[in-house]
Amino acid sequence: MDTFQVRLSPIDEERFGIRTARAMIVVPEDIARMLEFCQSHQVVFLIARCPVAKLHTVQAMEQQGFLLMDTLLYYVRHLTKSPIPEDRAQSLVRPIRPGEEEQVREIAAQSFQGYYGHYHADPRLDRTKCDEAYVSWAVRSVTSREVADEVLVAEIDGRLAGFATLRRNHDQEGEGVLYGVAPWAQGRGIYRSFMIQSMEWGKAQGFQRMLYSTQVTNVAVQKVWVRVGAEVSHAYYTFHRWFDEAGSSI
Ligand SMILES: CC(C)(COP(=O)(O)OP(=O)(O)OC[C@H]1O[C@@H](n2cnc3c(N)ncnc32)[C@H](O)[C@@H]1OP(=O)(O)O)[C@@H](O)C(=O)NCCC(=O)NCCS
């Protein structure tokens, strides 16, 4: 099976003002194909993922000037193998209502400021625009069914305290994509509650499992995942490659 994937990324291009592509690279031979694509499409900035087990490919990418930016770790929660834990949270978790987009924007702006994903790890990218990447992703999740199939919010005393975006991957699998809890509401178990409600949502959709991912360094969420019965599954390295620097000709 051909696992190679590459595509232009208009969203990143619009945000950073740089011609950007995204790729999945699995075998070393993919690198030449990807470089050819970037050359023919005048790509300046490439975001490329590679499964962590493919070390020969990783080493070949390092030789080609790819820089490691983060490690994305996936967990899976099987919904039928063990019961979903009880939600003991004080907050009310419910589907988002029309008119609450602006509150989600504010929570995303506060919770993802200076986050440590692959954008922030790259000193060439503008910090403010890196923060904005997560904010616009959260807002697009609320406004477009192509980005998220459901958005849950947590409410404390009538005030929105957090959001969770959920997606249907296929008949068997859902995914919990982006979560943010406002700084004033953190540490009260809202995230745990989002995890449990996301599993309940997946079960109601008839899925066998839910998928969750984060940077390997995001210990807070992984602690919660393990406690609610999720298991580590697979991981990718995220690399950036710039094509406008000295010695970077392709
Ligand atoms: C990660 C996050 C969602 C946790 O939300 P929360 O409602 O505070 O989480 P909980 O109250 O359920 O607590 C979860 C655990 O993480 C810990 N935790 C919460 N915030 C933390 C932080 N900023 N740093 C380290 N640990 C943290 C809690 O102490 C708790 O662990 P404990 O029971 O051992 O004390 C929230 O801090 C956040 O929005 N962070 C920024 C965005 C992010 O990382 N999103 C998730 C990836 S998409």
Domain CATH code at residue 85 = 3.40.630.30
- Asked if the structure places residue 250 within a domain, the reply is no
Note the pLDDT tens digit of each residue in 5-56.
999 999 999 999 999 999 999 999 999 999 999 999 999 999 999 999 999 9
**Domain limits at 19?**
5-71+237-242
Query: What domain count does the chain have?
Result: 2
- Asked if the structure places residue 249 within a domain, the reply is no
Residue by residue, DSSP assigns 142-158 as HH-TTT-SEEEEEEETT
Q: What is the pLDDT of residue 248?
A: 56
- Asked if the structure places residue 192 within a domain, the reply is yes
Q: What is the pLDDT of residue 242?
A: 97
Q: Which two tokens stand for residue 224?
A: 């919660």
Beta-bridge partner residues of 167 = 175
| Whole-number Å distance between alpha carbons of 228 and 192 | 8
Could you write out the three-class secondary structure of 109-121? HHHCCCCCCHHHH
Closest listed residue to residue 153, CA positions, set 85, 119, 114, 106? 106
Kindly give, in sequence order, each residue whose CB lies less than 8 Å from that of residue 108, ignoring residues fewer than 6 positions away.
Answer: 134, 135, 137, 138, 139, 163, 178, 180
What is the CA(227)–ligand 1 centre distance, in A? 13
Q: Which two tokens stand for residue 94?
A: 């419910």
What is the CA(8)–ligand 1 centre distance, in A? 33
**196 plus 230 within the same structural domain:** yes
Beta-bridge partner residues of 155 = 92, 160
Phi and psi at residue 83, to the nearest 5° = -65, 150
What is the CA(7)–ligand 1 centre distance, in A? 33
R_g of the chain, CA atoms, integer Å:
19
Kindly give, in sequence order, each residue whose CB lies less than 8 Å from that of residue 158, ignoring residues fewer than 6 positions away.
Answer: none
Note the pLDDT tens digit of each residue in 61-102.
999 999 999 999 999 999 999 999 999 887 899 999 999 999
Q: What is the pLDDT of residue 88?
A: 86
List the residue whose alpha carbon is closest to atom 36 of ligand 1: 181
* Residue 179 Cβ contacting ligand 1 at under 6 Å: yes
Note the pLDDT tens digit of each residue in 136-152.
999 999 998 889 999 99
Nearest atom in ligand 1 to the alpha carbon of residue 190 is: 7
Note the pLDDT tens digit of each residue in 175-226.
999 999 999 999 999 999 999 999 999 999 999 999 999 999 999 999 999 9
